[in-house]
Amino acid sequence: MALTGCASDDDSRTVLRLAHGLDTSHPVHGGMEVFAQEVESRTNGEVRIIIYPNEQLGSERECLELLQLGALDITKSSTAILDAFIEEYAVFGLPYVFRGDEHMWAVLEGEVGQEILESGRDVNLLGLCYYDAGARSFYTTRHPIHQPSDLQGLSIRVQQSDMAIRMVRAMGGSPTPVSWGELYSALQQGVVDGAENNPPSFYTSNHYEVCRYYTLDEHQRVPDVLLIRPAVFDGLSDEHQQAFREAAEVSVAYQRELWREDQDKALAAVEEAGVTIIEPDISEFQEAVQPLWAMFEGTVIGDLAERVEAVPGD
């Protein structure tokens, strides 16, 4: 793969590459499309962003590494993947750290969330904004999950995230990292017994075709983050930097609304396709992960979790 980062296609236009792993029908991709359109409009066409979806330039982790190396300009990553690069993002992976959507957005748009976006500067991963990635829940091929004990003996695909691995282990399952692009075949071939993700991702990935049970335990609300290489952002004029920030705000508002619509549609579509949707007693899952919370007491993650809990919101 030969990439050179930002380039110019004439004397006045800067072209930036944005790569990510999602399908073009995904609402987060929709948010990034609006971001690119707004940047071009607000810079009077002087900055153009070309989007490469569907892991065209690599997996989520590979895109982060390309960004760090200067071979890519912008990418999107789940905070579950980012916690391997920037410790502070791991707080968002703590199971049930958010009390709901209102609380999550109060945190993300407040002091804690904005501090964490800036925390990756030293490792060439500057956060621009958060996108809604909903609540993650378990889905399985043959074994319905009604309570944590039902995960015993099951191989569950997780992202390459220490927090996700610890969470599944705490609930009794066997965590198995598999890249997003390889997951459908892994489920189909029985390499893993299930996975966990939000409703739109479950639907747009077609995983519902092989996973017939979806348990809405909503164990994590790990947002997505739009990231830019600091050297690229700092190299923009003040006016263009402001245009990027305004474009990010517009794209977040659009993506959040799109997410709400797509989440409802996704749940209805998978149920119509024959998936059994299970609404368990969430308190049992919350209790199962308490030892995981105890592990982080007195650490950077534990201190951030206390600050998150103190933010008002339901």
Domain containing 29 — which CATH number? 3.40.190.170
Strands laid side by side in the 213-220 sheet: 174-177, 155-158, 194-197, 136-140, 213-220, 276-278
Percent of the chain at pLDDT exceeding 70? 96
| Total length of the chain | 314
* pLDDT tens digits for range 189-244: 999 999 999 999 999 899 999 999 999 999 999 999 999 999 999 999 999 999 99
For residue 15, being part of any structural domain is answered with yes
First-last CA distance in the chain: 46
Q: What is the pLDDT of residue 1?
A: 39
Q: What is the pLDDT of residue 145?
A: 98
Are 167 and 235 part of one and the same domain? no
For residue 25, being part of any structural domain is answered with yes
Residues 260-272: what's their mean pLDDT? 95
Q: Which domain holds residue 214?
A: 136-221+272-310
**Two tokens, residue 196:** 């966990």
Q: What is the pLDDT of residue 10?
A: 56
For residue 69, being part of any structural domain is answered with yes
Are 206 and 302 part of one and the same domain? yes
For residue 2, being part of any structural domain is answered with no
pLDDT band at 113 (very low <50, low <70, confident <90, very high): very high
Q: What is the pLDDT of residue 8?
A: 55
Residues 257-275: what's their mean pLDDT? 96
The mean predicted confidence, pLDDT, of the chain is 94
Q: What is the pLDDT of residue 3?
A: 47
Are 179 and 291 part of one and the same domain? yes
Residues 83-109: what's their mean pLDDT? 96
For residue 16, being part of any structural domain is answered with yes
* pLDDT tens digits for range 33-50: 999 999 999 999 999 999
For residue 11, being part of any structural domain is answered with yes
Query: Burial level of 125, CB count in 10 A (0-12/13-18/19+)?
Result: buried
Are 113 and 146 part of one and the same domain? no
In this model, does residue 12 exceed pLDDT 80? no
Q: What is the pLDDT of residue 2?
A: 40
Are 22 and 96 part of one and the same domain? yes
Look at the chain and report how many structural domains it folds into.
2
Are 110 and 245 part of one and the same domain? yes
Distance CA 83, CA 93 (A): 8
Q: What is the pLDDT of residue 11?
A: 59
For residue 127, being part of any structural domain is answered with yes
Are 169 and 306 part of one and the same domain? yes
Are 162 and 56 part of one and the same domain? no
Are 165 and 216 part of one and the same domain? yes
Distance CA 78, CA 125 (A): 13
For residue 56, being part of any structural domain is answered with yes
Are 127 and 145 part of one and the same domain? no
Q: What is the pLDDT of residue 159?
A: 87
Distance CA 224, CA 174 (A): 25
Residues 11-31: what's their mean pLDDT? 91
Q: What is the pLDDT of residue 6?
A: 62
Distance CA 31, CA 255 (A): 5
Q: What is the pLDDT of residue 161?
A: 85
Are 15 and 96 part of one and the same domain? yes
Are 91 and 175 part of one and the same domain? no
Q: HEC states along the chain?
A: CCCCCCEECCCCCEEEEEECCCCCCCHHHHHHHHHHHHHHHHCCCCEEEEEECCCCCCCHHHHHHHHHHCCCCEEEEEHHHHCCCCHHHHHHHCCCCCCCHHHHHHHHCCHHHHHHHHCCHHHCCEEEEEECCCCEEEEECCCCCCCHHHHCCCEEEECCCHHHHHHHHHCCCEEEECCHHHHHHHHHCCCCCEEEECHHHHHHCCHHHCCCEEEEEEEECCCEEEEECHHHHHCCCHHHHHHHHHHHHHHHHHHHHHHHHHHHHHHHHHHHCCCEEECCCHHHHHHHCHHHHHHCCCCHHHHHHHHHHHCCCC
In this model, does residue 5 exceed pLDDT 70? no
Query: Burial level of 35, CB count in 10 A (0-12/13-18/19+)?
Result: buried
Q: What is the pLDDT of residue 180?
A: 87
pLDDT band at 78 (very low <50, low <70, confident <90, very high): very high
